Structure 1
Amino acid sequence: MTTPPTRERLIRAMGNALQHKGLHGVGLSEILADADTPKGGLYHHFPGGKTELAVAAIEQQVADLCALLDKLLPGADPVAALELWIARAQQGLAASGFQRGCPLATVALESSAQDVAIRQALADGFAAIRARLALAFEASGRIANAAGLAALIVAAYEGALLQARVAGSVAPMELVGAALFPLLRTQLQGPPDDQATD
């Protein structure tokens, strides 16, 4: 098995750190040790240091999540795809001992107005995820406010994941899913045909 390139190892190490400890909870020495990379390797690939690396890790996490949604959503029942997405998130959280949260939410909660590049990467990431969901709903042809519904799902997902992490239980995510998915199915079914033609 070949060793991943230095840049890839650094991004993976930072992504792992963001999910477990957040941006300010991990030092460069820990990231470099996890990536098995000397300090010079970091600044060769990321002259902006920790901030530039964090942006790259956020972008990679978003790309991975969007790739998963692209795999699950097209041609499928959107609600079934979302159920699978949430189930996978629950499994991942439980497998990490409730230590591995969403890197976007973790970093967003601790970012400040001075973290301009990081906040922009987070905003772009959330927008990309919402756009993927909205496209799936629009494809159903029965959702009047696909963008709003996508925003609601992302908010519910992030809030439930945060609650599950601190509770050490997937129960909050299960509660949200049990309430949200039937509502989504009702939305996707649309009005009865006789109302639709009024």
Structure 2
Amino acid sequence: MISRHRSVGRPSRTSLDALQDAALTLGLDSFTLAAVAKEVGVAEATVYNYVHSRDELYRGACDRLSAGVDLTPDPATDTGSWMDYMDAVSARVVPLAATHPGFTEYLFYGPFGPETRHIYSTMVAEVMRRRPELDANAAYFVTSRTFMSSVTTASFPHLQDAGTWLRHSVMLGMEQQIDAGKPAR
């Protein structure tokens, strides 16, 4: 994201963080730049001092959501398996996706910002640490499919149990293939 800072003149009346917060408050799937400007109390033209487009603000707000995802194992349920780790992290993303319609689409299609790339690289590294026979490509496949199966149903509260079932089914199937010496390539 490009952020322009003026070195002279009046102090800034907003910030990129405030604009992203407004986009999150208004709804990732429906905000407009005019509505964001109104929400933070600035002219719409001021928004363009911080972002070039709605899409840029959307991606930035989604990346900020990603930054808040806890990537640590859950000590209460972690047995050291990659499935326990991915289950814990994936389950933390579901409420974000459910609360912020539009976040799921970002996670599916990107393009990803640095915080979201950090999530994926951290999860891949942790899966590889827990299943050393997996190379980076196989670990990415295992990670991304598990993660995406979690958020697939997040926008539908009545299907959240189905999302957990889907995630567990996907992981069990992949684990059986890995155990059989057939990791994804």
TM-score by length of 2: 0.63
1:1-198 alignment runs, 5 A limit: 6-17=15-26, 20-22=27-29, 25-46=30-51, 48-65=52-69, 68-69=70-71, 71-72=72-73, 77=80, 78-92=82-96, 98=98, 100-101=100-101, 103=103, 105-107=104-106, 121-122=111-112, 127-140=117-130, 142-166=132-156, 168-182=158-172
Contact kept, 8 Å, 1:6 with 1:35, in 2: the verdict is no
**Which residue is 2:9 aligned to?**
none
Q: Return the letter of the residue paired with 1:155.
A: R
For residues 158 and 17 of structure 2, the distance between their equivalents in structure 1, rounded to whole angstroms, comes to: 31
Contact kept, 8 Å, 1:160 with 1:172, in 2: the verdict is no
Q: Return the letter of the residue paired with 2:158.
A: G
Query: Are residues 16 and 128 of structure 1, via their aligned partners in 2, closer, same or farther at CA, if it must alter by over 3 Å?
Result: farther
- Unpaired runs of 5+ residues, structure 2, are 1-13, 181-185
For residues 59 and 95 of structure 2, the distance between their equivalents in structure 1, rounded to whole angstroms, comes to: 26
Query: Are residues 102 and 155 of structure 1, via their aligned partners in 2, closer, same or farther at CA, if it must alter by over 3 Å?
Result: farther
Q: 1:37 deviation in Å?
A: 3.7
Q: 1:87 deviation in Å?
A: 2.8
Structure with bigger RCO (C-alpha 8 Å, 6+ apart): 1
Matched residue pairs, number?
164
Query: Are residues 29 and 86 of structure 1, via their aligned partners in 2, closer, same or farther at CA, if it must alter by over 3 Å?
Result: same
For residues 151 and 101 of structure 1, the distance between their equivalents in structure 2, rounded to whole angstroms, comes to: 25
Q: Which moved more, 1:122-131 or 1:83-92?
A: 122-131
**Which residue is 1:115 aligned to?**
none
Q: 1:9 deviation in Å?
A: 1.1
**Which residue is 1:116 aligned to?**
none
For residues 164 and 145 of structure 1, the distance between their equivalents in structure 2, rounded to whole angstroms, comes to: 29
Report sequence identity in percent.
9
For residues 113 and 17 of structure 2, the distance between their equivalents in structure 1, rounded to whole angstroms, comes to: 23
Q: Which structure dedicates a bigger proportion of its chain to helix? A: 1
TM-score by length of 1: 0.59
Query: Are residues 50 and 21 of structure 1, via their aligned partners in 2, closer, same or farther at CA, if it must alter by over 3 Å?
Result: closer
For residues 65 and 39 of structure 2, the distance between their equivalents in structure 1, rounded to whole angstroms, comes to: 17
Q: Return the letter of the residue paired with 2:37.
A: L
